Amino acid sequence: MHKKKLLDMIAKKEARKKELSEKAKTSQDVAELRSINAEMESLNGDIAELRGMADSIPEEPVPAAPPVASGDEGKRSKEVEDAEARRAGAQKLNPLAAIRIGTGTSATDPDKRGFDDVLKMATDTPEQKAEMRHALFSAPEYRSGYFKMLAGRKDFTDVEKRALTTASDSGGAAVPTTTFNMIIQRMQQTSALFGLLKPTYLPGNVVLPVANAQTAAEWTDEAPATDKDDTLTSVSLTAYALSKFAKVKGQLILMAIDALEAYIVRAIGDQLAIAVENAILNGTGTKQPTGILTGVTWTDGENSATFTDKLDYDNMVDAKKMLGLYRSNAVWVVNAAMEAAIYKIKTTVNQPLFTQNPITGLISNPLGFPLVVDYYMPDDTILLFNPDYYFMNINQNPMIEANDSAGFMTTSRVFRGTLFADAKPTLSEAFVKMTKATAGG
């Protein structure tokens, strides 16, 4: 099969993936979403197989130009021009285009350059060096070389060797940009809470400003010299290491680069998401992020209250009242037992107050806020909070390292994925907690 035909098939399947991603954004039907997910998995497998086939086929040679007759030096053979156009088109087709975080769609990165262009970039200042490394990690030659290195393969092309050497000399190898985006997207899909956050991606330790939402602007003839009522605080975030190991059988290492990447992203990304999920709620702040339940200052009657025997409608109304101006984008977070308690709240005629959609299986938004079920929430506790006031920073691309010794007895290769991040709640008034009163309390 011709390479051009394979690339055309890949392009069509990528277009179908993009169409399904857009459809998934608006769908509220669980059955439809499951169908979309199944088709996406099938498309990913087909694309990986087709890319492996395409990679094994050399480029079509450009036909040599026929001798140019005297006086026709300025003319070129139409066959040569057509062949060069096909070659240029194949180079422009980039099925490895980066997935933009938050969109779930593929889009060509405007900063993506070929490796030769990366080498020409200036590195005189720290900013220029950082830009060069960003372009390097986005280069397809670096990505293919990186995964061959992880798989323990030796069949590097000269360009792949140079890309890996350049990365090592400029500060060390890191996960390719495409892979990083796939890990973040996988975490957003796996974690109930991570997808609600708006993490930053700033290197090193950072101090981020936090604005108080309670202060309104004033109508005035002239702008006031000072904003005496405004309060502007900050949150300091460092970097804690979160690691996950994944064992890959020897025969799987021989799979195509795209298939190996997808396997590692799925194995490592899912487990990173679970650990981050727990930390968002229960993190201690010691060698890990600070969680909401542990990090917010809870004040009875201001952002905390109790309910007696069981949660009722008035309790939920009180929680909404305490959240005040921070209720925009707010969500309820409960575990499965508290979800059941909300389902059981009845009207005066003994009918369910919050009904379940018979198609999607989702409960209607209680008091206008989405309901998120999280298994790391404790029993008899309900949270209502604005995710915009839980700050998270991922300060570098995740690291993925490989080692054969741990899997020597089983002919396996062990991969370790490490994420460096920190997170903590900021304004306590943007979080409301209700818990069941203890006996005698």
- Return the CATH number of the domain spanning residue range 195-214+232-250+272-441: 3.30.2320.10
Residue 288: pLDDT band with limits 50, 70, 90 = very high
Closest listed residue to residue 273, CA positions, set 205, 176, 346, 195: 195
Rg of the chain over Cα atoms, rounded to whole angstroms, equals: 27
The pLDDT score that the predictor gives to residue 258 is 84
Burial of 130 (0-12, 13-18, 19+ CB in 10 A): middle
Residue 264: pLDDT band with limits 50, 70, 90 = confident
3-class DSSP assignment, residue 145:
helix
Query: 0.75 cut: is pTM over it?
Result: no
Contacts 24+ apart (CB under 8 A), 56-62: 57/1, 57/2, 57/3, 57/6, 58/3, 59/3, 59/87, 59/90, 60/2, 60/3, 60/4, 60/86, 60/87, 62/87
Structure tokens at 102: 């938050």
**Region 177-201 average pLDDT:** 89
Q: Say which amino acid occupies 109.
A: D
pLDDT digits (tens, 9 = 90+) for 22-58: 777 676 665 676 677 667 767 776 777 677 677 667 6
**Region 87-97 average pLDDT:** 37
Lowest mean pLDDT among 98-102, 234-238, 308-312, 317-321: 98-102
**Region 84-102 average pLDDT:** 38
The Cα–Cα gap between 114 and 260 comes to 23
User: Bridge partners of 383?
Assistant: 333, 433
Q: Is the pLDDT of residue 439 over 80?
A: no
**Region 326-336 average pLDDT:** 92
The pLDDT score that the predictor gives to residue 95 is 31
DSSP letter for 426, please. Answer: -
> Domain boundaries in the chain?
195-214+232-250+272-441
**DSSP per position, 220-258:** -SS--S--TT--EEEEEE--EEEEEEEEEEGGGGGS-HH
pLDDT digits (tens, 9 = 90+) for 205-257: 877 777 765 555 666 666 555 555 555 677 788 888 888 777 776 666 667 78
The Cα–Cα gap between 223 and 295 comes to 37
Q: Say which amino acid occupies 89.
A: G
The pLDDT score that the predictor gives to residue 243 is 84
Closest listed residue to residue 201, CA positions, set 36, 362, 393: 393
**Which helix or strand (DSSP H or E) is residue 90 part of?**
helix 78-92
The pLDDT score that the predictor gives to residue 349 is 87
Q: Is the pLDDT of residue 110 over 70?
A: no
The pLDDT score that the predictor gives to residue 432 is 97
